Structure 1
């Protein structure tokens, strides 16, 4: 087997098996750093062993065994580790059978996303431990200095140890709240990668991959599938969101360039979630995205349905941003004045002060209503608040049109 084939096999195994190998070692030793170090050693060993012996039939089992044996060697050389070994009563070496390797990733996901950890630490720890990104890669993706990111990871692991955060899936009564925290972390990782910046784009793929893992590990829970569907439907139109560095709004995107395979998978995944008849916020957001995505075939958007879905979303997960999006849908379904009234009510409430999409939305509705002077003033206000260059270019273009 050529070196290129082996490298490709190791890369695939790293992407597919890293989280499971690390999770298994953490469950065995309780030592996060030891687990990561020994997992790295196992993948390094694969690069030297597989060219000679061939890629094993079950790469995950091979890597888990190599990492476990490396961990045992390190524990035996350490006095505290020897005591740990006696507690563990680890069986003799040898490649375990497939059924002997429990999937520990679910416990790892819930531990990384424990509410006792600060939210940024949950995100970083999930990317490091489950996705296998290096500290440097996480720092680049989250636009943070590498030393600061390293400290964040150290503090998170120390917090888990010192606070006695249990390495387990929460009991049934605590599951809804804890699952919501996990889904929030995965969706934030996705959104961090959904912007323009190249270093972040790999995060969308990692978030989708982790959402697939979570949905597979919790088949009875509909919201992980709802989140996965939402991610797939958003990702399907990523290529059309900007053009020459300028933001392209949904109505002006080239729908022929949307990824129909991702749309089909997203809609099918959403149908599986909705079949449980327990709609949650992510399922509702995915349903809204599906209304837009399937309009690529029908060439018309069901705005009354979208407005209704936003109303239900506002009931389940109240948010001024949801209210703003609902105002747009109402404007498209019931007429511009109805939507403008809702936007003006939001502005008067002060809940979205400083949020550039509030004046941008108001400007767009005023432009559609033929009120050019008022629209110009609102676009200028939005331009002053716009956070990205793509947003600023889009708003500047709108101003120039007026």
Structure 2
């Protein structure tokens, strides 16, 4: 399954280091070539020799211990890896990486890496919930690093809660799934719209909504990871550009339509996650509108319905729309699918806790032609994005339709 895949395992110090040994074993048995870097703290729990025996490779522990004088070790390892896993990921190494600190072999290699990085945290439940740790995890998430969420269970410190390192079998399964789907979109062009749009009222005010862009950015990131040429057309958000994605920044619905149409003819998949404003002021004031006594009103006019327009223009493209609803989700989603000539509508109830705007997780139901319907349980948006593409790819071959 993982034949000849190059995986770099970075092991930081914690009692869960023993699980990292099992992880090397599982990955190696699956056919991967695994190299290991250990922090000094990790060596207090398990000796490097153990990882050397399990991986059949030298174990790296010191930035200045160059085992091959023809290369710089931490650069060479970073270039060698197809995937980098930090397990266990302690609060210390997470904090260093989030702040760009490279003071040992693990952190300097991570900072030099261009391969995808996954971190499997493992720490006391209170450490995991500390605001500083949450802040660092959020920063790394925005930097494009993926997290393998820790399991809930008994911790070495005696507490029960989130903090245990995910089991080696589960991590190995995630790695196998990642490489299995990695190239499924190779040669395809995926256009994703994300975030809100802004419709100006005057030089200092605008109409908008609460969309954070997280679902759209997750879809673009997943497309790039699966080998696609990923074009992300984004309204104003505070998210970093995912690795391998080309972002086009827009503001209004009109600008978003123009950007989408510029890429639509050559697109294979178009994913409309953006929460586009339905209305805009009929007249935009040149100067700031001053407060007046009594009520005031703004005359609005409809913006162009981008999804509807694309539905009328499509030829070979797979057109995927999103529907953020607060009630009658199924009814409105099915109606939108029909009216806008989309291939799929991915609907969610934004009034549900942890599934609405600005959340990191989502629960959706996908509706398609011929009464197709498939539900996806609550999960991180990045994971959901991959599963959505997996499902759609399985059902669609754009050029054969």
TM-score, normalised to structure 1's length?
0.30
Higher normalized strand content (fraction of residues)? 2
Higher relative contact order (CA 8 A, sep 6+): 2
TM-score, normalised to structure 2's length?
0.30
